[in-house]
Structure 1
């Protein structure tokens, strides 16, 4: 690592040594599971909130003050609040691919992948329904469509 550090530093913002060869790739796949799993949970939760008539802007406020808050939350909830999908410019198809990699990694370890299979299937479904090229925030639309509800905060009246 020390031998190639100067070369890596020339084009890398940060460097982290995580173990033997291949550990960095595995860590990336595991990290993507955390972020994409969070996105899937948020989309499902906000869909349930919309289906139950909860004010989504108020719900977002509550979540931002509690354990429901995360960097993924900050990136994708603006889509629910204002239709802004620019916070998570990553295609649903890429999420499906990453989650497939993660589920394969878990199986090869072997390690449980119960939650991962659900997250993978969520992104696979969204991709299969034709939303693969859309950014992650559009997962709210996919789950809303499946559940017969629009997952958007009501516009505030002046």
Structure 2
């Protein structure tokens, strides 16, 4: 089995790396926070003390990091992955970053003798823990097939969506749909409550029709209960929607619903709620409704 180096052991990356260990892979994990490295070691992984330690002699290197500059520095920096990994290794970035950054890293990686895939994920913390993530992959077909057993240890839906950068483009579309859907469910809950209709009962009815969605099924109960413990933090969705609006502008595409959702998420973060789950958009609906 492939020997894996995993960098970024946060809310998503930690359980993803642990699932690779459960699947039988030899995984070295690194994170700037040593507490997270220790938790990974307790899950059976090999703790790494540096980037070099995590990637040296590894067949596949995976990163799951917060933003485009983090990934670019980790891949291309003087002390980064390409500086320490063996030639011929496969680099897979599973962060959510700008498509243009993904293409830049892929070009630099191929020139240096590495395979490169951009493979962002959807499914939240629950999907990471349960290994049911959706993984949208951009890059060369041969590299995708090489990585497929690794992806299958972390997710249920693995789709090769196109060349380098395509994975990140699809992820941006995913974040648009999710944000608009969360906002719609939030508005529906406040609307139902204003009319003194039990939202849980109403959602049970709505889920069986065309209004049904993964957001309605998986997230509405916590929204009704005002439980905004983070599965996917609002500040990260805010970052992702910035990627979306920038990429849409570059392509000359109008996204009025996406832009509106981006503004609402920005307002939520500006109010100091960036650490809450993205379903805390419900708080804004209540505030704007005077409730």
TM-score (norm 1): 0.81
* Pick aligned residue for 1:32 from 175, 189, 193: 175
Runs (5+) with no aligned partner, structure 1: 150-158
Asked whether the 8 Å contact 1:36–1:119 carries over to 2, the reply is yes
More helix by share: 1
Higher Rg: 2
* Pick aligned residue for 1:100 from 242, 258, 276: 242
Question: Is 1:72 aligned to residue 215 of structure 2?
Answer: yes
Partner Cα distance (2:151, 2:204) in 1: 36
Report the Cα offset of residue 10 of structure 1.
4.6
Report the Cα offset of residue 4 of structure 1.
2.1
Partner deviation per Cα, 1:43-97 (whole Å, 9 max, x = no partner): 12222222333321232122112122101111211114444556x7101111111
SS at match of 1:108: helix
Asked whether the 8 Å contact 1:91–1:132 carries over to 2, the reply is yes
Partner Cα distance (1:128, 1:137) in 2: 15
Q: 1:133 to 1:85 in 2, by over 3 A?
A: closer
SS at match of 1:42: helix
Q: Which residue pairs with 2:284 in the alignment?
A: 142
Asked whether the 8 Å contact 2:234–2:268 carries over to 1, the reply is yes
Q: Which residue pairs with 1:156 in the alignment?
A: none
Aligned length: 148
Asked whether the 8 Å contact 1:76–1:85 carries over to 2, the reply is no
Q: 1:10 to 1:122 in 2, by over 3 A?
A: same
Asked whether the 8 Å contact 1:100–1:120 carries over to 2, the reply is yes
More strand by share: 2
Asked whether the 8 Å contact 1:78–1:85 carries over to 2, the reply is no
Give the RMSD, CA atoms, in angstroms.
2.1
* Pick aligned residue for 1:126 from 255, 259, 268: 268
Asked whether the 8 Å contact 2:235–2:275 carries over to 1, the reply is yes
Report the Cα offset of residue 5 of structure 1.
3.4
Partner Cα distance (1:10, 1:52) in 2: 50
SS at match of 1:12: helix
Asked whether the 8 Å contact 1:40–1:139 carries over to 2, the reply is yes
Partner Cα distance (1:130, 1:26) in 2: 29
